[in-house]
Amino acid sequence: MRPSNENILKICIKALKSRRSNEVYDGIKLAAYLVEQAFKSELRKINPLLYFDRKNISDKTALLAAEKKMSSEELFRQKTCSATQCISAMTEYSPDLKSHAANIKELFVIRNFILHSTDDFSFEQNAHVETAVSALRACRKYITKNMGISSNEFNPLTTSEFEELQRKEHGKRINGLKAVLKKHKKRFNKLNPSEVKQKNLTNLPTTDNTTWIEETQNCPACKQPSFDKIGTVDFDWPPEGMDAYGKFYYQCRVCELELSEYEYELTKEDTFN
Ligand SMILES: [Zn+2]
């Protein structure tokens, strides 16, 4: 029997609380599944056209979808939009999700990494659990609304246990980030002013057609105007055509601090002042 979404959520939370990395992987995959399915069903309600992979449908089908005139057989035959497309559509559509966009995107970056990686990789368990739990909380409204998960029977997003898990993991992640910032500040303190200037001018990230500097800001560790926001696009060629996955990350020319988009958002919390 196929597990109900309530059970999937229960298994997901249990796995995210585990200390074993293979169980945590499962928790992350399930968290991403719940968010993706909840978003897709929301998009389908707004307009079926948003739910499909629009690259692969004819103009006639697109028109039927936009007018909500598709039969249910036709609906099921279509390829649905990718996770990346549905996250960007939902975070544009919903003002309450917009401020969590970096968090939600990071969940899918980790999920894809787990799915596609064949090597052992260094697994920052605390950081990844924090990403998954925070994303589930941010998407709470859509998960309970669209996934048949009732707040009476099981709504981990209001139980004290879940609140506690998020608080604990968030605290660990903030402490980890503070330690990283401190390490890079120390590195900066060893440089003399001319070395700082030189690094800022020459230590630029490598850019090409698919990697570029979006903007440059002040670094949260060394406070120099040398923190590049780097945009990058990866391509994948599934049988249906090409998929492009874009993401941003940050890198400092002077102290060499590297942060994901979500980590950079976290460093803006008051506790860092
Ligand atoms: Zn720096």
- Predicted confidence (pLDDT) per residue in 214-247, tens digit: 999 999 999 999 999 999 887 665 555 556 667 8
Which pLDDT score is estimated for 176?
92
User: Given the structure tokens 């739910």, which residue do they identify?
Assistant: 51
Q: What is the pLDDT of residues 122-157, one digit of tens each?
A: 567 778 899 999 999 889 889 888 888 776 655 544
- 200: how many CB neighbours lie within 10 A of its CB? 16
Residue 180 domain-assigned? Answer: no
Check whether residue 143 and residue 220 sit in a common domain. no
Of 137, 158, 179, which marks where a domain is finished?
A: 158
Which pLDDT score is estimated for 31?
95
Check whether residue 233 and residue 152 sit in a common domain. no
Lowest mean pLDDT among 16-25, 115-124, 151-160, 165-174: 151-160
Check whether residue 256 and residue 209 sit in a common domain. yes
Residue 173 domain-assigned? Answer: no
Residue 118 domain-assigned? Answer: yes
Mean pLDDT of 80-105: 89
Q: What distance in angstroms lies between residue 204's CA and the mean position of ligand 1's atoms?
A: 13
Q: How confident is the model at residue 71 (pLDDT cuts 50, 70, 90)?
A: confident
Check whether residue 126 and residue 208 sit in a common domain. no
Q: What distance in angstroms lies between residue 109's CA and the mean position of ligand 1's atoms?
A: 24
Residue 170 domain-assigned? Answer: no
Lowest mean pLDDT among 88-92, 150-154, 169-173, 245-249: 150-154
Q: What distance in angstroms lies between residue 190's CA and the mean position of ligand 1's atoms?
A: 12
Q: What distance in angstroms lies between residue 24's CA and the mean position of ligand 1's atoms?
A: 32
Residue 257 domain-assigned? Answer: yes
Mean pLDDT of 159-180: 85
Check whether residue 16 and residue 130 sit in a common domain. yes
Q: Is the pLDDT of residue 158 over 60?
A: no
Greater confidence (179 vs 51) lies with 179
Check whether residue 47 and residue 92 sit in a common domain. yes
Residue 260 domain-assigned? Answer: yes
Residue 177 domain-assigned? Answer: no
Check whether residue 32 and residue 140 sit in a common domain. yes
Domain boundaries, position 80? 5-158
Which pLDDT score is estimated for 119?
61
Number of domains in the chain: 2
Q: Is the pLDDT of residue 69 over 70?
A: yes
Residue 163 and residue 133: Cα distance in Å, rounded?
9
Q: What distance in angstroms lies between residue 131's CA and the mean position of ligand 1's atoms?
A: 24
